Structure 1
Amino acid sequence: MSFSTHVLDAVTGLPAAGLRVRLEHDGEVVAEGRTDDDGRIQGWNPGAGVHRVVFDTGAYLEDTFYPEVVVTFLITDPDRHHHVPLLLSPYAYSTYRGS
C-alpha cells in the first residue's frame, strides 16, 4: 500500500513546491517531508486505519486564514494506493480522494 499527495496553489496555478507535510497515525507522526518541485509527495506507506495528513499552509502562504489543513481519512484496503490531493488558496481549500 502506498500514499501520495499533490498540492496545487490555486492563486498561481502552479504546484505548491516546498510545502511541509506530515502523516499521522494514532497520534504519532509516521512520515514527514516537503512537496517536490511538482507539489508532490509519494511513497509513504501508512497501512490500514485512520490517518491524518497535515499540511503546513501557514508557512507556505504569506497571508492565510487556514494556517494548517488537516485531512483525516480511513484506509480499509491496505493493498490499494491512496492519493489525497489538495487545492490551496489563502481563504479556501478543497480535497478529494484521488486515484
Structure 2
Amino acid sequence: MSTLSCHVLDTSRGQPAIGIPVELFRFGENQALATGETNQDGRVKFDQLELAPDCYCLRFITEAYCLAHFQQCFFPLADVVFNTESTQPHYHIPLLLSGFSYSTYRGS
C-alpha cells in the first residue's frame, strides 16, 4: 500500500496556490475516495488513505482560484491520472498552474 500527497504551485506568481479543492478517485469511478484543500504551502496530504496498486485520478478544482488570481478561467479543473504499484511506498503529485496552462510530474 502507498501513501499520497500533492501540491499546487502558481507559476505565474511563484507561490503556493492556497485553497484549491482536491479530490481523489479510482479511475473511472465517480465516488471520491478522499478530498482535501491546499494549505498555506499549497499542499494536501492524504494521511488517512493507503492506495492499493491501481489507476487513480487526482482532480484539482481550479476555477475559483483562477478567477480570483488570473481574472479568468481557461481550465476549471485539472485531472491527473496515474498508476500505483505495490513497490512504491509514497506518491507525490505536483501541479504547476498558470492562467492558460498546467503541467505535472512525479514528485518525490
Report if TM-score (shorter chain) is over 0.5.
Answer: yes
Q: Please say which of residues 51-60 and 78-87 is displaced more in the overlay.
A: 78-87
Per-residue CA distance 1:54-84 (angstroms, 9 max, x = gap): 0001121111211110000000226520010
* Pick aligned residue for 1:83 from 70, 92, 107: 92
The amino acid of 1:10's aligned partner reads T
Root-mean-square deviation over aligned CA pairs = 1.3
Alignment of 1:42-61 (within 5 A): 42=45, 43=47, 44-61=49-66
Q: Contact conserved, 1:47 with 1:78, CA < 8 A, in 2?
A: no
Q: Secondary structure at the match of 1:87?
A: strand
Per-residue CA distance 1:1-26 (angstroms, 9 max, x = gap): 21000110011111011100000015
The amino acid of 2:77's aligned partner reads E
Aligned length: 99
Q: Secondary structure at the match of 1:12?
A: coil
The amino acid of 2:52's aligned partner reads G
**Ranges of 4+ aligned residues in structure 1 off by more than 4 Å:** none
Q: Residue 98 in 1 paired to residue 99 in 2?
A: no
Question: What's the % identity of the aligned pairs?
Answer: 39
The amino acid of 2:74's aligned partner reads F
Structure with higher Rg: it is 2
In structure 1, stretches of 5+ residues that fail to align are: none
